[in-house]
Each structure stands twice: as structure tokens, then as C-alpha cells.
Amino acid sequence: MKVFIVGIAGKVGIRLAERLVARGDEVDGLYRRPQQKEALAAVGIQATEGDLVKMSAAELAEAIRGSDVVVFSAGAGGEGGPEMTTAIDGDGMTKTIEAVQQAGIARLILVSAFPNALRERETSDRFEHYMTVKRRSEVELVDSDLDWMILRPGTLTDDTGSGRVSLSLALPYGDVPRDDVAETLAEIVHAPGTARTILELISGSVPAAEAVATFDRA
């Protein structure tokens, strides 16, 4: 399977790329800093350098053409203020939807966010803006003619993953290691029958493959 990851050098992106390469998939993706080329080459990936903000949908379409599925895992990560959150998590996703359509690809998977994330702690205008933009991206994707899939992980940690998760249509809010998000995404990539589903993800006790199989209608 040929997979393109927008945000491939990110913490989730690289973990997903490693797992897909190990499964024998052909992996490409978009990264923006030249120095990330080496880290990607170290895991056997020749990815595409480019800035999601500066490139056009047509340029992105050229980069992703021929892929079976595209995963959007890019994000401003709070850097550059609300404008960059809008530009990357929001407009970047709009551009990716257009590019996927132009390239004639059916499947687009969005790494989104838990709707009530961090609500029990003190929140901020910056975070509320992030949640609004993520929601906008979800709405645009669901409204598209694509075989979309949305994964909403809880708060991401760098803890070592267990490979075991809790994945469902609605869950209590919690944390999840990026390793386990990547593990789950790798399974979703290989489960086209999860299309047109929104799933929430936190740490749990079910092996990721088993958890995803529950929602694979293929």
C-alpha cells in the first residue's frame, strides 16, 4: 500500500511512518525542515520537502498523486500563535482535502483532537481557538465526497506505548501515548472499512489491531 503522511516528521508522523515501513508499505510524506531529511532517511523514507502554508493545492496534489491513502498529522503545535493554527491545522487541512480530490485519491484520514480535551483544567483563548479550528477541519472533511476517517486521540504523551488502546465512538477523556496513536493509525490505514467513521482514542487494554477490526466494515 502507498501511504502519504502530511506532517511525516512530526512525533506521531514519524512513528506511523516507521510502523508502515515495517509492514512493507511504500511511505512518503510532507516535511518542511531540510534537517528532517536525514531522520527520515534513517528509517528508509525519501519524503517530500515543502511548506503546507506556502504550497498550492495543485503542488500538494502532485506530491500525493498515486497514493492509496493520505494521513493528515500536521499541526502548528501552538507555535506562531492563532494565525499559524488557522494556517496549518485549518487552511492546511482544507488544502489537503482539495489536493486529495485533485489527485483522484479516495481515502483521507485526519488526526484530530478530543472535543472535551483539557476541559477539566484551566483552558485559554489559544487552546479554544485550536479546538475551533480542529472542529472546522472535521466538518469540512465530513462534508466532502471522500472516504474520510477521523481519529480523535486524547492528550498525547511520549510514554512508551503498550500497543493496547481504548477505541470507540465516544469515550471518557484521557491520555494516550503517541506510540499507540501511531499503532492504531497503522491499523486504520489497512482497514478501508473504517471510512466515514469518527473514533475516539485513549489508552486501554485492547490490542490496537483488534480495536480497529471492531470498526472495519469491509
Ligand X SMILES: NC(=O)c1ccc[n+]([C@@H]2O[C@H](COP(=O)([O-])OP(=O)(O)OC[C@H]3O[C@@H](n4cnc5c(N)ncnc54)[C@H](OP(=O)(O)O)[C@@H]3O)[C@@H](O)[C@H]2O)c1
Residues designated catalytic: 130
Instruction: Decide whether 75 or 204 has the Cβ nearer to ligand X.
Output: 75
Per-residue binding string, ligand X, 89-118, x by CB under 6 A, is x---------------------x-x-----
- Residue-by-residue DSSP string for 186-208: HHHHT-GGGTTEEEEEEE-SEEH
Q: Residue 24 or residue 34: which is nearer to ligand X going by CB? A: 34
Q: How far is the CB of 218 from ligand X (least distance, A)?
A: 25
Span of 75-83, 141-149, 166-174, 203-211 interacting with ligand X by CB under 6 A: 75-83
Q: Which of 123, 129, 118, 5 shows the shortest CA–CA distance to 78? A: 129
Could you say which residues in the range 149-168 bind ligand X, by CB under 6 A? 153, 155-156
CB 47 within 8 A of CB 40: yes
Question: Is 51 an interacting residue with respect to ligand X (CB under 6 A)?
Answer: yes
**CA–CA distance from 115 to each of 130, 131, 174 (Å)?**
11, 7, 11
In eight-state DSSP terms, residue 160 is P
Of 77 and 192, nearer to ligand X (C-beta) is 77
Q: Say how far apart CA 93 and CA 149 lie, in whole Å.
A: 13
Asked whether the beta carbons of 19 and 1 are under 8 A apart, the reply is no
Rounded to an integer, what distance in angstroms lies between the CA atom of residue 95 and that of residue 6? 11
Q: Angle, to 10 degrees, between the axis of helix 57-64 and the axis of helix 92-102?
A: 60
Tell me how far, at minimum, the Cβ of 18 lies from ligand X, in Å. Answer: 13
Q: Which stretch binds ligand X (CB under 6 A): 40-48, 63-71, 137-145, 148-156?
A: 148-156
Nearer to ligand X, 99 or 193 (CB): 99
Q: Which residues bind ligand X (CB under 6 A)?
A: 7, 9-13, 30, 32-33, 51-53, 73-77, 88-89, 111, 113, 153, 155-156, 178
